[in-house]
Structure 1
Amino acid sequence: MKKKEATDVEGTYIVTTDAEGKACSDFDLRTTSNGKTVLIPQPSDDPADPLNWSWMKKHTVLFALGFSALLTDWGMTWGTTLFEAQAVTWNMSIPDVAKSLSGGIFLQGPGGILAVPLVSPVFVVYLRTSKLIRPGRLPVLFWSQLLSCIMVIAASQAPTYAGFTACRTLQGFFNTAPQVIGLTMIHDMFFFHERTRKVNLWAFTYLVGPYLGPFIAGFLIQKINWRQDFGILAAFYGFSTLMVICFGDETLYDRKVSKRTPKPEGVVGRIKLLTGVAGLAATRRSTVSTVTKDLIAISYLPHLIVPCSIFLLVLYMWAIGITTSVTQFVKPPPYLFNDTATSLLYLAPMLGVIIAEFWGHVFNDWLQNLFIRRNHGLHKPEIRLWGAWVAVVFAVCSPVLYGQVLQHSLHWIGIAFGWGLNTFAMLAATTVISTYVLDCFPQHAALASSWLNFWRVTGGFVITYFSPNWIASNGPAITFGCQSAIVGASFASVIATQIWGRKWRMKFPVPAPEN
Structure 2
Amino acid sequence: MGSDAEKGVFVEEKAIAQGDFSLNTSDATPDEKALKTTKDGKHILVPQPSDDPEDPFNWSWKKKHAVLLSLTFAALLTDWGMTWGSTLFEAQAIYWNKSIPTIANTLSGGIFLQGPGGLLAVPLTQRYGRLPVLFWSQFLSCIVVIGAACSTSYAGFFACRTLQGFFNTAPQVIGLTIVHDMFFFHERTRKINIWGASYLIGPYLGPFIAGFLIQKISWQKDFGVLAAFYGFSTLLIIIFGDETLYDRDPAHRKPRPTGIKGRIELLTGIAGLRATGRPTVGTVFKDLAAMAWLPNIVVPAIWLFIVFIWAIGITTSVTQFVKPPPYLFTDTAVCLLFLAPFIGIVLGEIWGHFFNDWLCNTYLAKHKGIHSPENRLWAVWPLAIIGPCGLILYGQTLEHSLSWVGIAFGWGMGTFVMLASTTIVSAYVLDIYPGHAALTSSWLNFWKVLVAGGFIITYINPRWIARDGPGIAFGVQGAIMAVLFATIVATQVWGKAWRTRFHAPAAEN
Instruction: Determine the structure 2 residue equivalent to 1:384.
Output: 376
Q: 2:365 aligns with which of 361, 367, 373?
A: 373
Residue 55 in structure 1 maps to residue 47 in structure 2: no
Is this contact kept in 1: 2:24–2:43, CA < 8 A?
no
Per-residue CA deviation, residues 260-290 of structure 1 (Å, 9 max, x unaligned), is 1111111111011100011122113433332
Give the aligned residue type for 1:225: S
Is this contact kept in 1: 2:15–2:23, CA < 8 A?
no
State the distance in 1 between where 2:20 and 2:224 align.
47
Shifted more, 401-410 versus 29-38: the winner is 29-38
State the distance in 2 between where 1:431 and 1:181 align.
14
Does the C-alpha gap of structure 1 residues 146 and 464 become closer, same or farther in structure 2, counting only changes over 3 Å?
same
State the distance in 2 between where 1:23 and 1:108 align.
46
Q: Secondary structure at the match of 2:249?
A: coil
Does the C-alpha gap of structure 1 residues 259 and 473 become closer, same or farther in structure 2, counting only changes over 3 Å?
closer
Instruction: Determine the structure 1 residue equivalent to 2:391.
Output: 399
Instruction: Determine the structure 1 residue equivalent to 2:240.
Output: 247
Instruction: Determine the structure 1 residue equivalent to 2:99.
Output: 93
Q: 1:495 aligns with which of 489, 493, 508?
A: 489
Per-residue CA deviation, residues 341-367 of structure 1 (Å, 9 max, x unaligned), is 000000000000001100000000000
Per-residue CA deviation, residues 280-336 of structure 1 (Å, 9 max, x unaligned), is 22113433332111101111001101111x211111000000000000000000000
Instruction: Output aligned runs, 1:203-242, within 5 Å.
Output: 203-242=196-235
Give the aligned residue type for 1:235: A
Residue 81 in structure 1 maps to residue 87 in structure 2: yes
Instruction: Determine the structure 2 residue equivalent to 1:128.
Output: none
Instruction: Determine the structure 1 residue equivalent to 2:173.
Output: 180
Give the aligned residue type for 2:211: G
Give the aligned residue type for 2:277: R
State the distance in 2 between where 1:239 and 1:352 align.
26
Is this contact kept in 2: 1:396–1:487, CA < 8 A?
yes
Instruction: Determine the structure 2 residue equivalent to 1:118.
Output: 124
Identify, as 1 or 2, the structure richer in helix. Answer: 2
Give the aligned residue type for 1:276: G
Instruction: Determine the structure 1 residue equivalent to 2:131.
Output: 138
Q: Secondary structure at the match of 1:67?
A: helix
Q: Secondary structure at the match of 2:113?
A: helix
Instruction: Output aligned runs, 1:3-42, within 5 Å.
Output: 10-11=17-18, 14-17=21-24, 21=27, 27-42=33-48
**Offset of residue 373 of structure 1:** 1.5
Instruction: Determine the structure 2 residue equivalent to 1:132.
Output: none
Q: 1:262 aligns with which of 245, 252, 255?
A: 255
Per-residue CA deviation, residues 103-128 of structure 1 (Å, 9 max, x unaligned), is 0000000000011110112xxxxxxx
State the distance in 2 between where 1:86 and 1:415 align.
25
Is this contact kept in 2: 1:113–1:451, CA < 8 A?
yes
Residue 349 in structure 1 maps to residue 376 in structure 2: no
Is this contact kept in 1: 2:16–2:372, CA < 8 A?
no
Q: How does the TM-score come out when normalised to structure 1? A: 0.94
**Offset of residue 23 of structure 1:** 10
Does the C-alpha gap of structure 1 residues 25 and 346 become closer, same or farther in structure 2, counting only changes over 3 Å?
farther
**Structure 1 unaligned runs (5+)?**
122-134
**Offset of residue 14 of structure 1:** 3.2
State the distance in 1 between where 2:258 and 2:249 align.
23
Residue 165 in structure 1 maps to residue 158 in structure 2: yes
Instruction: Determine the structure 1 residue equivalent to 2:452.
Output: 459
Residue 470 in structure 1 maps to residue 477 in structure 2: no
**Offset of residue 74 of structure 1:** 0.1
Instruction: Determine the structure 2 residue equivalent to 1:126.
Output: none
Per-residue CA deviation, residues 15-47 of structure 1 (Å, 9 max, x unaligned), is 2445x6489998322111111111111100000
Give the superposed CA RMSD. Answer: 1.7
**Offset of residue 258 of structure 1:** 3.9
Is this contact kept in 2: 1:10–1:506, CA < 8 A?
no
What percentage of residue pairs aligned between the two structures are identical? 63
Is this contact kept in 2: 1:47–1:53, CA < 8 A?
yes
Residue 449 in structure 1 maps to residue 441 in structure 2: yes
**Offset of residue 160 of structure 1:** 1.4
Q: 4+ runs of 1 displaced by more than 3 Å?
A: 5-14, 20-27
Is this contact kept in 2: 1:396–1:488, CA < 8 A?
yes
Is this contact kept in 1: 2:33–2:44, CA < 8 A?
no
Is this contact kept in 2: 1:40–1:191, CA < 8 A?
yes
Is this contact kept in 2: 1:219–1:339, CA < 8 A?
yes
Per-residue CA deviation, residues 55-108 of structure 1 (Å, 9 max, x unaligned), is 000000000000000000000000000000000001111011100000000000
Residue 360 in structure 1 maps to residue 352 in structure 2: yes
Does the C-alpha gap of structure 1 residues 16 and 417 become closer, same or farther in structure 2, counting only changes over 3 Å?
closer
State the distance in 2 between where 1:278 and 1:420 align.
44
State the distance in 2 between where 1:259 and 1:466 align.
51
State the distance in 2 between where 1:9 and 1:209 align.
32
**Offset of residue 491 of structure 1:** 0.8
State the distance in 2 between where 1:235 and 1:289 align.
35
Residue 283 in structure 1 maps to residue 290 in structure 2: no
Per-residue CA deviation, residues 461-493 of structure 1 (Å, 9 max, x unaligned), is 210010000000000000000000000111111
State the distance in 2 between where 1:284 and 1:342 align.
53
Instruction: Determine the structure 1 residue equivalent to 2:4.
Output: none
Residue 292 in structure 1 maps to residue 285 in structure 2: yes
Is this contact kept in 2: 1:156–1:230, CA < 8 A?
yes
Give the aligned residue type for 2:188: R
Residue 154 in structure 1 maps to residue 161 in structure 2: no
State the distance in 2 between where 1:407 and 1:252 align.
52
Give the aligned residue type for 1:489: V
**Offset of residue 9 of structure 1:** 8.7
State the distance in 1 between where 2:101 and 2:384 align.
30
Is this contact kept in 1: 2:146–2:227, CA < 8 A?
yes
Per-residue CA deviation, residues 478-512 of structure 1 (Å, 9 max, x unaligned), is 00000000001111111101100000000001111
State the distance in 2 between where 1:13 and 1:182 align.
28
Is this contact kept in 1: 2:17–2:433, CA < 8 A?
no
Q: How does the TM-score come out when normalised to structure 2? A: 0.95
Does the C-alpha gap of structure 1 residues 8 and 50 become closer, same or farther in structure 2, counting only changes over 3 Å?
closer
State the distance in 2 between where 1:95 and 1:280 align.
45
Does the C-alpha gap of structure 1 residues 44 and 301 become closer, same or farther in structure 2, counting only changes over 3 Å?
same
**Offset of residue 259 of structure 1:** 4.9
Is this contact kept in 2: 1:74–1:214, CA < 8 A?
yes
Instruction: Determine the structure 1 residue equivalent to 2:3.
Output: none
Q: Secondary structure at the match of 2:316?
A: helix
